[in-house]
Amino acid sequence: MKNIMALMLCMAMLLCGFAGTGKSNSDASPDEQKADVWETVEDAYIYAFPLVLMDATKVSATNTEKAVKGKAPINQFMHGKGLADAQFKNVVSPNVDTVYSQVWYDLSEEPIVYVLPQTDRFCKVQVLDAWTNTVAVLDKAGTYAITLSTWKGELPDDVTRIDVPTPMAWSITRTVLSGEEDLPNVYKIQSEMKLMPLSAYVSGESYQPPKGSYKKENDYVPIDKVLSLDPVTFFNKANELMGKNPPSDADAEMLKKIETINVGPNMKFDSSVLTGDIQTKWKEMLKGLRTKLVSESKEFTKQLGEWSYYDAPIGDFGTEYDYRAMVALAGLGANTVDVALYPKTDKDVDGNQLTGEKSYILHFDSYPQVLDGGFWSVTAYGDDDFLIDNPLDRYCINDRSGLKANDDGSVDVILSKDAPKDTTNWLPVCDGKFHLFMRIYTPDMDAIKTWTAPTITPID
């Protein structure tokens, strides 16, 4: 997925607010004080954005009385029964190579036990905390306890403890699928996954998960919901969430800065700290957010020919708050680089924006190299970071697509909005702007360094 999951996908935190003026607030001129306030507002927004988006995604995904397509109550499996399609809007830039089995956790009462079965394929469980950091990747069959790090109890000897620093957590299990005919094999793997509270696991008794709840107002697209919030609603939600999901000790400097505008764990935000035309300034800040974050993220960018991908510390961000916000905005739930690379391009070989007004050839001299169990794909997304509707329900090409090779072993894929006569090597795109994400799971990083990435050339 979801990804993320898409649409969008960063750097040192900004230190230009109250602490960066070189003079006390009382010494600053009125104009400087006004600038300081909105600089700090932006810092606070960027810092809190991933946390608020995680919560909005959780609320939307658990808004159901029982597990159904795309939703499940808290602490219950949300098993995908197929790949994401153009109607999937829960997460930007969703992954269409793997079937997702997701869980949204509330770890405040006790650990949740996750039994991961033995499989014959790529099947990894990414565990994220409330701040979008990856705390673990489970890649071996076994019994795991997803546990709040402050929990003091004892676990059975056969259970491996996975500490999470926040009671809100999310796991994304990605199980690779090789075509519709492979679905029964994925369903079997899903049926062998088990999830229950520790107390139920220890008792050995049959466990029936409780009924969830549904509210119509919680049916929304998470990213749209968060971006629509006014400053008071956004920051008070952030303050509430920080009280429940404590910031890292490393965040002390940022917390000291943003508490000057009443943003922090369990604080009460008051719009009276804001200056000028609040509505206009807020909208301007949000409008420029994506451009700012992408620009600031360049130091973490690595090039693969015309493609670029985000390198470490993606997925484990530390104090790189702008980077963390950018990744959340572009594709919530991104893996660390040892698990996956996400090269992206929106330009052709001439540096021009990709658009459905033209047709292109995506040319592979060779495919990306992966380690045992790895795989690769290329997925097309519209300008909204979601999948592109098309008559074949084809959203990506991958190492399982059965692409026709040229005589020299290279492969050409057609990128166009209209279907060619032979659709074998066709990846549909939309009318307007679009971009491509390559996913390389379990990459061979030594081989990737010298690999020639695919080129995109307009068709005359």
The burial of 283, by beta-carbon neighbours within 10 Å (0-12 exposed, 13-18 middle, 19 or more buried), is given as exposed
Q: For residue range 146-179, what is the model confidence (pLDDT) as tens digits?
A: 999 999 999 999 999 999 999 999 999 999 998 8
Domain covering 78-203, topology: Immunoglobulin-like (2.60.40)
pLDDT at 386 over 60: yes
Percent of the chain with pLDDT over 90: 84
Cα gap 170→130, rounded to integer Å: 8
Q: For residue range 113-149, what is the model confidence (pLDDT) as tens digits?
A: 999 999 999 999 999 999 999 999 999 999 999 999 9
Three-state DSSP at 364 gives: strand
pLDDT at 304 over 90: yes
Comparing C-alpha atoms, which of 180, 144, 183, 182 is closest to residue 164?
144
What strand order describes the sheet that includes 168-176? 78-79, 98-106, 168-176, 123-129, 134-138
Q: For residue range 182-193, what is the model confidence (pLDDT) as tens digits?
A: 999 999 999 999
Cα gap 206→210, rounded to integer Å: 13
Domain 343-458 sits in CATH at 2.60.120.600
| Model confidence, pTM | 0.82
Three-state DSSP at 345 gives: strand
Q: Which tokens is 207 given?
A: 């466990």
Residue-range domain boundaries for the chain: 18-55+225-322, 78-203, 343-458
CB contact at 8 A, 177 and 99: yes
